[in-house]
Amino acid sequence: MRISKHLKIHGRVQGVGFRYFTVQQANELEIDGWVANRSDGTVETVIQGEDSAVSEMMQRLRSGPITAKVTEIEEIPINDPPENYHGFKVKR
């Protein structure tokens, strides 16, 4: 079953390669969506894929790259039907 998650990742997640780590992991797991830095120091992402792949992606995001320190992953409710993404990109 294909699912979507909208996440806000807190901690030391900017300036440590977190977005590019996210793209690499998404490509390995065949996850679609996007990732972006936010002005409040967090990283925001939407991940879409098979249930098991999305669960694995969330585990990898909790660890992040070696230079990151994730303190919290906040799940943002998706109220409307999610957009269908194709591929994974960094939003600027």
Question: In the annotation, is 79 catalytic?
Answer: no
Q: Which of 2, 19, 62, 79 is catalytic?
A: 19
Q: Which of 2, 27, 37, 84 is catalytic?
A: 37
Alpha-carbon distances of 89 from 44, 69, 71, 72, 76, rounded to whole Å: 12, 22, 24, 22, 19
Question: In the annotation, is 38 catalytic?
Answer: no
Give the residue carrying structure tokens 């694995």. Answer: 56
| Residues annotated as catalytic (active site), given as ranges | 19, 37
